[in-house]
Structure 1
Amino acid sequence: MTWRSICAAALVAAAGAATAADAPRLKPFVLASRGAGEVPAAAAAVKAKLSAAGFELVGEYAPYDGAVVLAVTSADLRAAAAQNRFGGYGAAQRVSVTKVSDEVQVAYTNPVYMAAAYRMKADLSPVAAALGSALGRLEEFGPGDGRTAKDLRGYHYTLGMPYFDEPWKLGAFASQADAIAAVEAGLAAGRGGTRKVYRIDLPGADESVFGVALSDGCGGDGSVMREIDFKPLRSTGHLPYELVVSKGQVLALHAKFRIAVNFPDLSMMGSHSFMNIRCAPDSIEGALRKVVGR
């Protein structure tokens, strides 16, 4: 290489490094408000604000005392999710109302973070702006240093942990209708300690997403969250888990991926760690397989 070409290559590399360093650092949750109050009244106020902003409440879930999760969607969210297969994971945003000591925290999942983590084609920044306008936006929270969108699109917690494109394949059916019917029946029967929180059908796509509450065993929502959601700002909107039914297949993100992408600074060992919920992934997978009779 000539000296000129070496210099040019160095400048390109430096520019790339600078661009990466300047990329926004995203966090999975957004704190909308915090203050005195009680969960029922705060949740009612939040629902009214979301409705006025054009969001549709598709499910409501109280996973444990002092916490409510509201699953919301919109025509824009459904259209965005339909742009690529498995976009259904991002079809709902989750708004949480949580009592922490003497205050009530209202928070929601960060649509831009989730779109990157779920490898969606769509830009969900307008959805993020709409949620911020409706509910408020004090700060993003989660991991201390955040993650770039590029990092999230290839997110991998560590060696031996799954990627987004390594989901649990829970069942395959002759048709989309048969698969949806199986999931609906399993959830209605409460198989595996599950309960349906919501269902969203994507327009023009052979894909639906279900929000699923989990109550049994080591993988129960309360059991897992008591261990991992311990910081002063609560990430209750991690719940509920999703099942995606796509082209007759029933899938779910591996719990090791889904927990890690929402709690990327959770330690592997020690207090409040993956080690302390090591039985949860198998328990969650077993519960979801029972939903589809597998």
Structure 2
Amino acid sequence: MKKLLNFLAGLAILTFVGCGHKGAELKAKGDEPKGDVSTYLQGAHMSVDDAKAKLSSGGFEVLNTFESVKDGNTIIFTCPSLKKEAAKPGRANIAVMRLYIDDETKTISLTNPVYFGRAYMQGDYNHATFSAISEKLVKIFPNLTPSKDKMKFEDLAGYHFTIGMPYYEDTEILGEGTNADLLAKLKEYQKGKAIAYELKISDDTTLVGYDIGRGTKRFVSKIGRENAGLLPWPIVVSGGKATMLKAEYYIAMNYPLLGMGQFAGIASIPGDIIKDLNKPFK
């Protein structure tokens, strides 16, 4: 209850101060974008099999397909450039991109490498690397258009939803122990059925996509199934800790147009997600 009240208090403050960021020291430079960057690149519907074939033909490695919402599937994929960037300290979350295929609305939606690259790489962001990945995706999937979801490029690296809300680096520790033990617990809990993908990034770091509870993930339909590709939830196992991006941050990054009222409507979800993802480590 205390967390809920604090959350709602923070939202009330938002009415007066607006969304916050601390990215002034990370302004765009060189050929980096100077204005808005779309969260997603969207296009015409295609089957999961066709999309996977296109990704593979373009040099991307498909890790798995995950049912993120009814009649909606997310293809999780990576490439050598993403894995190289993800191997840098604190950057594991950038190891994968996602292609969400919505069979209900007959659309596809790709995560924009430039948007999430800037957000997750922070000061380590290399525009040449991430713009090249984006260009490869546009070549593979022609006629993509920018999503209405977007954010100013300069705000991405230091973004948080509002006062009192977490930044990228404010991760939640789910478990501690050796990396091997933590990964074993994820695989042993419910016989590993919740694991959507596992990607070894380096000798010390593994990124795991994990399913949250059936009741918990209903929040996606409540705030907009068009961005359901944020699931499964990423868990980083590194340095003897299993961590996750704070839900308030991760949801807001994937739903940048989310309003104060909508966020208040899912105020209990961040706590529910932590409960779900803590279970394997108890």
The answer, yes or no, to whether TM exceeds 0.5 is yes
Gaps of 5+ in 1: 1-15, 36-40
* Residue aligned with 1:62, SS: strand
- Which of the numbers 116, 119, 143 marks the counterpart of 1:117? 119
User: What does residue 281 of structure 1 align with?
Assistant: 270
Does the CA contact (< 8 Å) of 2:94 and 2:121 recur in 1? no
**Pairs within 5 Å for 1:1-294:** 23-31=34-42, 33-34=43-44, 42-82=47-87, 84-101=88-105, 104-119=106-121, 121=124, 122=126, 123-143=129-149, 146-173=150-177, 175-186=178-189, 188-189=191-192, 195-203=194-202, 205-217=203-215, 219-220=216-217, 223-229=218-224, 234-269=226-261, 273-293=262-282
TM-superposition CA deviations, 1:188-211 (whole Å, max 9, x none): 355xxxx111011113x5111111
| Letter paired with 1:200 | L
Larger radius of gyration: 1
CA shift for structure 1 position 61 = 0.7
Gaps of 5+ in 2: 1-26
Q: Whose helix proportion is higher, 1 or 2?
A: 2
Change over 3 Å in CA distance of 1:107–1:24 after alignment to 2: same
Does the CA contact (< 8 Å) of 2:176 and 2:242 recur in 1? yes
Cα RMSD after superposing both structures: 2.3
CA shift for structure 1 position 99 = 2.3
| Letter paired with 2:115 | Y
Does the CA contact (< 8 Å) of 1:142 and 1:262 recur in 2? no
Identity, % of aligned positions: 27
Does the CA contact (< 8 Å) of 2:69 and 2:228 recur in 1? no
Change over 3 Å in CA distance of 1:42–1:62 after alignment to 2: same
Q: TM-score by structure 2 length?
A: 0.82
| Letter paired with 2:275 | G
Does the CA contact (< 8 Å) of 1:209 and 1:243 recur in 2? yes
CA shift for structure 1 position 137 = 4.5
Q: Determine the C-alpha separation between the residues in 2 that align with 1:86 and 1:119.
A: 8
* Residue aligned with 2:38, SS: coil
* Residue aligned with 2:211, SS: strand
* Residue aligned with 2:37, SS: coil
Q: Determine the C-alpha separation between the residues in 2 that align with 1:235 and 1:86.
A: 25
